[in-house]
Amino acid sequence: MKDLQNKHAFVTGAASGIGLGIAKACAKAGMVVSLVDLRQKALDEVTPWFTERGYKAQTVALDVTDRAGYVTAVDKAEAGLGAIHLLVNNAGVEVPMVPLWKSTHDDVDFITGVNIKGAINGIIAIVPRMLERGEPAHVITTSSQSGLSVVPGATLYNLTKAAVAAMMETLASDLQGTNVGASAFCPGPVQGNLSKTSYEVRPASLPNQAELPPPRFAAPPEPKPGEEPPKMPDFSKATISAEDAGDLVVRGVQRGDLYIFTHPEFAPGIEAKYKSMLRAYPTDLPENPERKFIFENFFGFLAKNPIYETQQQR
């Protein structure tokens, strides 16, 4: 979707961090914006940034896990700012970083409910409207670099982010030939408030995060006897601002990128991952003409999905 002027962006998780950065970037690019979040007070606090600059924005209170509420929220958003052209499924949460066998079923339901089902709710509520109107439109879901290169100990988070990346590739495949594009946004470290807000929006029935073990990477390595403790770098220096992340998202929408990334430092890890996969395919099996025929003529979407070819030509 190249022309963004006066088009309507519906951004979830927009009261903070990356969602707010994306909403600001959309406004700067000429779009009108629905700032969607379940924390109305936080939405009210960020709205002046838009109004003071003369940008058209409205707030929409919504818990993305509420299926019926989602449709009502979309009706309300479209009544206020017109047809939605850009859906950004960005609302997300994290849960305590523990190995999977120590996770609770409540945490499984909480994180999959918001990170996966919340994004699906957005697609089911909005994409049919986009298709019916036939105007250029786009859907983004915020995955994570950790959906592709996993963070050890964060299974639940990683799996929700891998799930939505697969969801967006499939959506892009299913939307070929329409006017609606789709992207997975896979940020590396960005200035946001995920730990804090995940705690705030965590259902009261779930155990307090403070009662659970801290993330594994929090502890610096133990110094050897007689040695100085190792100097830890300031890890915040690896982050980019949410505004810069938002600008990259807008650029990705305009270019029609299937994947939108923030940190080129992760590219070698992705290359190594796919090389290790390629190495694992058996190359010593006997020729099988019937199988070859089926793959070449009927399973083309698995062996050669055109969405990847198209991306390489961009």
Ligand X SMILES: NC(=O)c1ccc[n+]([C@@H]2O[C@H](COP(=O)([O-])OP(=O)(O)OC[C@H]3O[C@@H](n4cnc5c(N)ncnc54)[C@H](O)[C@@H]3O)[C@@H](O)[C@H]2O)c1
Residues near ligand X (CB under 6 A) = 12-13, 15-19, 37-39, 42, 62-65, 90-93, 114, 118, 142, 144, 187, 189-190, 192-194, 197, 201
Comparison of 22 and 180: residue with beta carbon closer to ligand X: 22
Comparison of 92 and 252: residue with beta carbon closer to ligand X: 92
Instruction: Concatenate the DSSP letters of all residues of 61-76 into one string.
Output: E--TT-HHHHHHHHHH
Instruction: Give φ, ψ of 178 to 5 degrees.
Output: -105, 180
Determine how many CB atoms are found less than 10 A away from the CB of residue 59. 21
Reading the block at residue 192, the tokens are 């946001």
Comparison of 136 and 168: residue with beta carbon closer to ligand X: 168
Comparison of 193 and 254: residue with beta carbon closer to ligand X: 193
CB of 12 to ligand X, least distance (A): 6
According to DSSP, the β-strands at 137-142 and 57-61 are unpaired
Any alpha helices (H) in the chain, and if so which ranges?
Answer: 17-28, 40-52, 67-81, 105-112, 118-133, 155-174, 194-201, 242-255, 267-280, 289-297, 300-303, 306-312
CB of 238 to ligand X, least distance (A): 9
Residues contacting 17, CB < 8 A, separation 6+? 190, 191, 192, 193, 194, 197, 242
Three-state DSSP at 161 gives: helix
Instruction: Concatenate the DSSP letters of all residues of 179-235 into one string.
Output: SEEEEEEE--SBS--HHHHHHHHS-TTSPPGGGSPPPGGGSPPPPPTTSPPPPPP-G
Comparison of 112 and 193: residue with beta carbon closer to ligand X: 193
Helix axes 67-81, 118-133, angle to 10 degrees: 40
CB of 73 to ligand X, least distance (A): 10
CB of 91 to ligand X, least distance (A): 4
Comparison of 59 and 90: residue with beta carbon closer to ligand X: 90
Comparison of 15 and 29: residue with beta carbon closer to ligand X: 15
